[in-house]
Amino acid sequence: MYIFALVRYLILLFLSIICLASYGQIPVTPQAQPAGNELRLLSSSSVKAINQKIFRAYNALYEHKGSRLAADSGDYYKEEDGREYFKAKGNIIITQPSGTVIFGDDLFYDAAAQQATLLYNVRMIDGETTLTTNHLTYNTGSQRGSYRNGGRIIGRQDTITSRNAYYFETTKDAYFRNKVVVRSPGAIIYTDSLQYNTMYRDAFFFGPTNINGRKGEKLYTERGKYNTAFGVAKFNKNNLYTEGSRFLKGDSLFYDREKGIGEAFRNVVFVDTLDKFYANGEYGKYLEADQSILMHTDPLIKYVVQSDSTGNADSTATDTIDRANLSPKEIRQLERDQEKLAKEKEKAEKERLKAAEKLEKERQKELAKNPELKTIEPPKQDSILAPTAKTNTRIDTAYMTADTIFSKVILVRDYKPLDLKLDRSGGKLQEDTDVDYGDEEDMDFNAAGDSIQENPQTAGEKILQDPKKPTTPAKTVQKKTTPKVSNSNPSTQNTVAVDPKQIQAISKADSILRRNAVIPTGNEPDSLMKKAMNSALKADTTVKDSTVMFSDTARTRIVNAYNNVRVFKSDLQAVADSVYYGMVDSMFRFMGKPMIWSDGSQISADTIFMQIKNNKMDNALLKENAFMVNAVLDTVKFNQLKGRKIVAFFANNNIERLFVTGNAEALVFNADDKTKIIKEMFHDRCSRIKIRMVDRKINDYVSERKVDQKLYPFKLVTQENEVLPGFIWKPQDRPKSVEDMMNRKRSKETVVPDQNGKDDPEQNSSDQNSKENPIQKSIENPTQKKVENPVQTKKEVENLEEEQNSSTNP
């Protein structure tokens, strides 16, 4: 009995010791927590119990599901439901298994939710990414963090600040909201909504966004992607790209900062306010290197000109250039040009006054010699020196389209203006009439700077491969290595010390930056484009003179149009295979058997040169197989001029003088002024024809050398002699409107017969007899508009002549 009693006492004593030992353990693990998920104290300098729920540890290091939490002091407590909490102050350090380290001043940690809230001087370091804020919420399980009321993220070379942000450690993605400003070496970005990947440096936009490049370029979009490392952008909503005075807009936009390329797709608009250049189409490619634009798929160029016949407005009186869209370099160049024009104007005024003074002195001398002249009333104003009265000018728009349009800016010194050697008096006639006068002129189209024969598809690629510029190697993304987690207290490791003053200074600077940041609202691109288009579509009143000396850095724009070129203006239409235009001398070069129509006239040649001065037509040269046709009244008879070369000079946009040189021929139908009935046909053959016109009517007509003139009564006019060799009439190719110009193509059978260079009329007649009559062919063409009043037959003409003769001879 004694033995059994002793054994029972020992068992009770052992159980009591076990219970006391269990009661003394810290912390007490709730039964609701699964094994291994509890918040464990790894080390501390000292621990004391505040009450039965709160235990305070100093220099504490806790571990929870792989995450380590260190602080100068921290309180651990557990609620009745078993949830654990940790509240700490001073030198907070959270170390994640991935290597991410978070610093702060205050910490509140919910163990069940694995949610950490850090306050004041918070900094999170994730590899090459650093997040700084005063309020951070971070989940150690999902590795997601967010801040409110301002913060910044620095990733590699990019610094992003915003009011609100979310950071995902696993994907390296960050989402920013409200007053977002991105600063990178290549650009500054302003937006209200942004997604950013810190590994690849990709920025995604979901609202109005401005990207201001360090080189002066600007981008706008409302949805798209931009890589801050390489400067590559892909936008697809309400996009705009500007560079100096150049604007490029399209439904989709691609931009490469390193190569200086901007590409736009669908509903593309390109504007250069400095050069007054406007173009739109379905595709556009812009190069910053030479400010070139390549457009195809229904490209269209608009150019506003003055089309009055009497206006003489001062071309320098109004500055229509929008300086707000120009770079400082362009503004300085513009000011130099304007200063130069002002000096030239002042010089011209001085010369005019000097000439007036000289005339007055001569007049006084004449009066001294002849006193009787004093009784003659002098004119109130010198008609020679008096300025022409200004009249209201009429603005007209010229349109040009082609399969491909290419335009770029070149140095003026590289531009090779054509010296056509045109003389308003006609010049001397060469001895040999069979000589091709056009061949003596300098017509080097392939000279440097013109690039007329250069393929536009490869022109842009050549610019991209600049041999002077070294190729930038592609940047490789380094793989981030995960640092090893040590079991020692992180407070004793060599961690980067947090400077509270520095963080607060950064926070204050970011706050000021966000407050002053101009975030786009969505109306800016439309306003900018409207302003740019209004500026570009104003008539260019700048006087262009190819003889003016330009500085070595002066630049000018050239335009090339390739394949199926069509031009429409209210009083002029044209078609050609290709067109080249230089803005420095306003010279148009139509190539590939071009045709030009104006009112009832048609001109054609192998090549046509047209030059505009002071916004008005000045001269034109028709070179090789030159032909001018003019419809007579409402008939299908045509007045015709032909030759190797035709030179026209204009005054007030009307032809003033015509010179037909080389196998010149003229065919003119004369009609009665009263009855409007054709009476006779005049045929002239010679070496050269000179015509002077006043008010669109022939005032002077001169034939030179080897003159052969014939006058045919109309009844003797036949299908064989009513047209000149090489005659062609193509009204079906003539654009009737802008819409018609965009939809039509030039007919394939448009061929101008070659001239043989022979003056033998029999040879020409035999050639003409062997061909189908072109007028009859035009009448039978179903695409041509029918003539309401066709020419009368021979019998009808004879009857009318008899009636007229009987009425005049009683």
Q: Cβ distance 407 to 298 under 8 Å? A: no
The average pLDDT across 565-572 equals: 90
Instruction: HSE, CB side, 13 Å, CA atoms: give it for residue 405.
Output: 28
- Examine the pLDDT at 98 and tell me if it is beyond 50: yes
pLDDT of residue 218: 93
**CB atoms closer than 10 angstroms to residue 56:** 18
C-alpha torsion sign, points 498, 502, 508, 509: negative
Burial of 256 per CB tally in 10 Å (0-12, 13-18, 19+): middle
Rounded Cα gap, residues 278 and 269, in angstroms: 8
What the block records as the tokens of 371 is 């006193």
On the question of pLDDT at 792 being above 50, the answer is: no
**pLDDT tens figures, 636-694:** 789 999 999 999 998 887 888 999 998 999 999 988 888 888 889 999 999 999 999 88
Ramachandran assignment for 547, one of left (phi > 0), alpha (psi -120 to 50 degrees), beta (any other): alpha
Average pLDDT for residues 394-418, to the nearest whole number?
87
| Full DSSP string of 4-53 | HHHHHHHHHHHHHHHHHHHHT-SSPPPTTSPTT-S-EEEE-SEEEESSSS
Please, what sign has the CA dihedral across residues 236, 210, 526, 523? positive
How far apart are the C-alpha atoms of 612 and 540, rounded to whole Å?
12
Q: What is the pLDDT of residue 330?
A: 60
Contact 726, 755 (CB under 8 A): yes
Identity at 664, one-letter amino acid code: A
DSSP string, 299-339: -EEEEEEE--SS----TTS-----GGGS-HHHHHHHHHHHH
Among candidate residues 735, 415, 734, the one with its CA nearest the CA of residue 581: 415
Would you call 298 helix, strand, or coil by DSSP?
Answer: coil
Question: What are the C-alpha distances in Å from 269 to residues 114, 523, 525, 582?
Answer: 54, 17, 12, 21
271, 276, 282, 288: CA torsion to nearest 10:
-50
What pLDDT score does 784 carry?
36
The yes-or-no verdict on residue 754 having pLDDT over 50 is: no
Q: What percent of the chain shows pLDDT beyond 90? A: 39
pLDDT at 261 over 90: yes
Alpha-carbon span 241 to 217, nearest angstrom:
7
- Give yes or no for residue 377 having a pLDDT over 50: no
Cis peptide before 208 (omega within 30 of 0): no
Nearest alpha-carbon partner for 682 in 722, 719, 720? 722
DSSP 56: E
For CA atoms 288, 292, 296, 301, the dihedral sign is positive
At residue 571, does pLDDT exceed 60?
yes
Q: How many whole angstroms separate alpha carbon 651 and alpha carbon 657?
A: 9
Write out the two tokens for 204. Answer: 């995604």
Rounded distance between C-alpha atoms, residue 561 and residue 27, angstroms: 85
At residue 438, the 3 state secondary structure works out as helix
Q: What are phi and psi of 517, to 5 degrees?
A: -65, 135
Mean pLDDT of 287-314: 76
- Does the structure show a pLDDT above 50 at 310? no
In DSSP terms, which residues pair with 202 in a beta bridge? 197, 227
> Which value, to the nearest 10 degrees, does the dihedral of the CA atoms of residues 302, 307, 311, 313 take?
0
- pLDDT at position 285 is 95
Q: Give the pLDDT band of residue 370 (cuts 50, 70, 90).
A: low
Element (H, E) at 621: strand 616-631
Position 274 pLDDT exceeds 50: yes
Looking at residue 659, its pLDDT comes to: 93
> Who has greater pLDDT, 486 or 531?
531
Q: Give 689-703 pLDDT, tens digit per residue.
A: 999 988 888 888 999
DSSP 513-558: HHHH-----S-HHHHHHHHHHHHHTS-------TTS---TT-EEEE
Instruction: Report residue 459's pLDDT band, with 50, 70 and 90 as the boundaries.
Output: very low
The model's pLDDT over 52-75, given as tens digits with 9 standing for 90+, comes to 788 899 999 999 999 999 999 999
Q: What is the pLDDT of residues 599-645, one digit of tens each?
A: 888 999 999 999 888 778 889 999 999 999 988 876 678 999 999 99
Q: Where does the pLDDT of residue 88 fall: very low under 50, low under 70, confident under 90, or very high at 90 and above?
A: very high
Tokens 């018609």 sit on residue? 740
Mean pLDDT for all residues in the chain: 76
The pLDDT value recorded for residue 95 is 94
* Local confidence band at 14 (pLDDT 50, 70, 90 cut-offs): low
Residue matched to tokens 């309180």: 75
Residue 673's pLDDT is: 81
Six-digit token string for 572: 């002029």
**pLDDT surpassing 80 at residue 528:** yes
| 397-423: average pLDDT | 87
Q: Any idea how long the chain is?
A: 810
- In whole angstroms, give the CA distance from residue 279 to residue 407: 10
pLDDT tens, residue by residue, 136-193: 999 999 999 999 889 999 988 899 999 999 999 999 999 999 999 999 999 999 999 9
788 pLDDT above the threshold of 90: no
Shortest CA distance to 175 belongs to which of 153, 200, 156? Answer: 153
Check if the beta carbon of residue 229 is closer than 8 Å to that of residue 257: no
